[in-house]
Amino acid sequence: MTRRVSPSAPASPPRSATSPSICRSTVRTTTGVADAHLTEEQIDALGAELDAIRASVVDDLGEADAHYIRTVVRVQRGLEAGGRTLLLFSRVPAAWVAGTAALSVAKILENMELGHNILHGQWDWMRDPDIHSTTWEWDHASPSQMWKRSHNYEHHTFTNVRGKDRDLGYAIMRVTPEQPWHPAYLLQPIYNIGLSAFFEWAIAIYDIEFDRVQEGTKTWDEAKAEMKTIWRKARTQLAKDYILFPLLSGRGAVSTLTANATAALVRNVWSHAVIFCGHFPDGVETFDEARLEGESRGQWYIRQLLGSANLTGGPLFHIMTGNLSHQIEHHLFPDVPSNRYREIAPQVQDVCRRYGLPYSSGTLPRQYGTVLRRLARLAFPGGHKRYGGSPAPVRKLRPRTGVRLPAVARRAA
């Protein structure tokens, strides 16, 4: 029998003075095409059902879940230690291949199933200081505090809202027809390859928000302070993989360096593919900022549903994606432990079926293929015929009072 471990409520983040208000007493809301058939009462009922799904999982968290995450930590650390030990003999081809493979898997597990999910506070309920969002520093170029601000707050609060979610194109790509076209986008299918290869570094630089500095909404002093923070993290990462461990290999320093670089490349390409499949495949919607006006709990849930897509696969595949193969469930319940998404998914699918909402899902090759096709088409002007982009129908709903988003949508980090 599993002994119950009582979860603690994660702390809510401080809201900045410039953060947009999400709670309003009187609202006027727009809907997208896929949810235009729902009445206000149905939207409320849907929200209540999803709340109930989340509550049932949170109430059931216990020793089995704690055992799962601690097992993943042990396996990841064992793979990393084993891989680095093998690479001490990297001049032997078999050791190079085995060590690189082990280190690649270790880096993927650390970033996807551990770092990303721990930093979401999914395991804070355990009150384990070694597996907690406030203490975990992941094996990634982006410092955890900067990542939690840009990802946990900005991306998860404003998912797929044009002009608010900076992850829509990462400020360098045109991924929706509504984005004004520029000749530089002609090269996006090409520089997407470079983005994939150096994904962790691109994210770290992206988090500095140079586009906002250019717009005048962020000062150079703020950007410089963040650049210093990133450099402190980056030099540690670079020294570990490209100086310390290669030197420990003695005469095999160069081969160990190439092995470490290969493992980082594998991790970057894999995480890029999985993450891009979460919000850019065919069938995923984007939204105008008007959608945020007084957005209710149910409406927030629907936006997460329509703005996300899943990947199909087996248990090992799900773990290797950090369970971001369940992107829909992750965006509905970002602070619910990732090992529970697989059991939640059929319940979410049933809700979508009963309320007439799409549930986007497909294999990795299929979904990533549609992503690459989108990037290629939107590198050129237009794209409205294939990807929509015409104004969504506007429906005014009666005023609400005291409406608030789910706590997870208000939490910064």
Query: pTM for this one?
Result: 0.85
Q: Is 62 in a helix, a strand, or coil?
A: strand
**Burial class of residue 393, CB neighbours in 10 A (0-12, 13-18, 19+):** exposed
Encoding tokens for residue 67? 């055992």
Q: Measure the CA–CA gap between 31 and 290, rounded to whole angstroms.
A: 9
Q: What is the pLDDT along the chain (413 residues), one digit of tens a residue?
A: 333 333 433 333 333 322 333 333 233 344 566 888 999 999 999 999 999 999 999 999 999 999 999 999 999 999 999 999 999 999 999 999 999 999 999 999 999 999 999 999 999 999 999 999 999 999 999 999 999 999 999 999 999 999 999 899 888 999 999 999 999 999 999 999 999 999 999 999 988 988 888 888 889 999 999 999 999 999 999 999 999 999 999 999 999 999 999 999 999 999 999 999 999 999 999 999 999 999 999 999 999 999 999 999 999 999 999 999 999 999 999 999 999 999 999 999 999 999 999 999 999 999 999 999 999 999 999 988 777 654 333 233 333 333 344 444 444 43
Q: What is the 3-state secondary structure (H, E, C) of 129-192?
A: CCCCCCCCCCCCCCCHHHHHHHHHHHHHHCCCECCCCCCCCCCCCCCCCCCCCCHHHHHHHHHH
The number of C-alpha atoms within 13 Å of 50 and in the hemisphere containing its C-beta is 32
Q: What is the 3-state secondary structure (H, E, C) of 208-251?
A: CCHHHHHHCCCCHHHHHHHHHHHHHHHHHHHHHHHHHHHHHCHH
Domain boundaries, the chain: 40-61+143-410
Q: Measure the CA–CA gap between 166 and 328, rounded to whole angstroms.
A: 19
Which pLDDT score is estimated for 1?
Answer: 37
